[in-house]
Amino acid sequence: MPEDVAPIGPAPAPAPAPASDPTAGSSDDEITVENASFVHTEPPQDGSAPPVVTTDMEVLHDKVKKQVIKEGHGKIPSKFSTCFVHYRAWVQSSMHKFEDTWQEQHPVEIVIGKEKKQMAGLGIGVGHMKGGERALLHVSWELGYGKEGSFSFPNVPPSADLIYEVELIGFDDAKEGKARSDMTVEERIEAADRRKLEGNDYFKEKKFEVAMQQYEMAVAYMGDDFMFQLFGKYRDMALAVKNPCHLNMAACLIKQKRFDEAIAQCSIVLSEDETNAKALFRRGKARAELGQTESAREDFLKAKRHSPEDKEIMRELRSLAEQDKALYQKQRELYKGLFGPRPQPKPKAKNFAVLFWQWLVSLVRYLARMFTRKND
């Protein structure tokens, strides 16, 4: 019989289920929005090279300098704060990119003052950033991978100065500097739920960028390594926080017309709960916008089976049917004009000389038969 909880720190008593969300319109804390603009953490370029930045260079340390790409908000993290960041990293001399967490779709956790040795320069830079800020960091080799470099992963040559493009998604102040791996199951679920609720509060205030950062931080607390170890009621408690965050992000991404990313967020929820009608509905909408009509129809029909009274689902199915009908009529008119009516065969004109010759042959044959009978 599986255990209710994995061995992640002590867990003396089950925590209560996460509080219901007063800002959400449904039991799973999903926010439904219709007329809003959203900003979501994303790399602004293809990431093949560091972005060109024209802002002033700020000296944070004799080995670390910073240029702001996008301003953040609020305060900077204090010592032992748990920070969640996305970054890309290049070797300055060769512009070889050796790491990209945006591509891997997994933010990195840094506890200020407790960084790994090779991330000391990155930690100094992050410690001077505000939530939501994106910056370019120039780090000397002494606060990077040192004289030895790294010949495994990541692959960094010896004595290599580094360039980081970093975004601070957000951070949690903690005097004891607890990393996620040091938290109990209850502490991680509570931290994630707190972020989700804060995201909903920011949403009500129309601070959409900050709200998206809170959702992403909540998801970071519920990482794959953590979810893999949970069973029973603890897993249900974690999913009750994690899945609504993915659904909220999907709704925002649809509004931003970033349909592929919205599909990915819904698919994460469906990998845990294949009957989730809201995830099916959101994914269907995104697929319909991309012109993936049959896949969208399949999602809407599945959503209808699990939520037969939902008027929005019926409206989307009718919309697809009307699109199909319009397309059929358009194609019919196109083909009709293209080929036109089928031509009728014209009667062939007969030659008079040929007709006379045929008549004359017939007459000769008739007379010959008559003569033969008379002789008999």
The DSSP result for 113-131, as a single string, is T---GGGHHHHHHHTT--B
In a domain, 132, yes or no: yes
CA 45 to chain centre: 16
Among candidate residues 283, 277, 279, 280, the one with its CA nearest the CA of residue 306: 277
Specify whether the CB–CB gap between 211 and 200 falls below 8 A: yes
d(CA 218, CA 203): 15
The token duo for 364 is 């000769």
In a domain, 156, yes or no: yes
Q: Mean pLDDT, to the nearest integer, of 179-197?
A: 86
In a domain, 252, yes or no: no
Judged against a pLDDT cut of 70, whether residue 204 lies above it is answered with yes
| Confidence bin at 374 (pLDDT 50/70/90) | low
Range of the domain at 97: 58-172
More confident site: 325 or 37 = 325
In a domain, 71, yes or no: yes
d(CA 197, CA 194): 5
Q: Which residue stretches of the chain are H helix?
A: 101-104, 120-126, 185-204, 208-221, 224-227, 232-255, 259-272, 277-289, 293-306, 311-339, 352-375
In a domain, 331, yes or no: no
Question: What CATH number corresponds to the domain at position 85?
Answer: 3.10.50.40
Judged against a pLDDT cut of 60, whether residue 16 lies above it is answered with no
- The pLDDT, as a whole number, for residue 339 is 56
Helices 277-289 and 293-306, axial angle in degrees (round to 10): 160
Among candidate residues 125, 126, 132, 86, the one with its CA nearest the CA of residue 106: 86
More confident site: 241 or 355 = 241
d(CA 240, CA 245): 9
In a domain, 70, yes or no: yes
Compute and round to an integer the Cα radius of gyration of the chain: 35
Judged against a pLDDT cut of 70, whether residue 13 lies above it is answered with no
In a domain, 332, yes or no: no
Q: Mean pLDDT, to the nearest integer, of 185-198?
A: 89
Among candidate residues 222, 244, 263, the one with its CA nearest the CA of residue 107: 222
| Confidence bin at 352 (pLDDT 50/70/90) | confident
Q: Mean pLDDT, to the nearest integer, of 323-327?
A: 83
d(CA 180, CA 244): 21
The one-letter amino acid code at 228 reads F
For the chain, the domain total comes to 1
In a domain, 126, yes or no: yes
- The pLDDT, as a whole number, for residue 103 is 83
Percent of the chain predicted with pLDDT > 70: 81
DSSP state at residue 8? S
The answer to which of 12-16, 71-75, 208-212 has the lowest mean pLDDT is: 12-16
What digits encode the pLDDT tens for the residues 264-275? Answer: 999 999 998 999
The token duo for 125 is 């830079």
Average pLDDT of the residues of the chain:
81
Helices 185-204 and 208-221, axial angle in degrees (round to 10): 170
d(CA 133, CA 167): 6
The pTM score is: 0.64
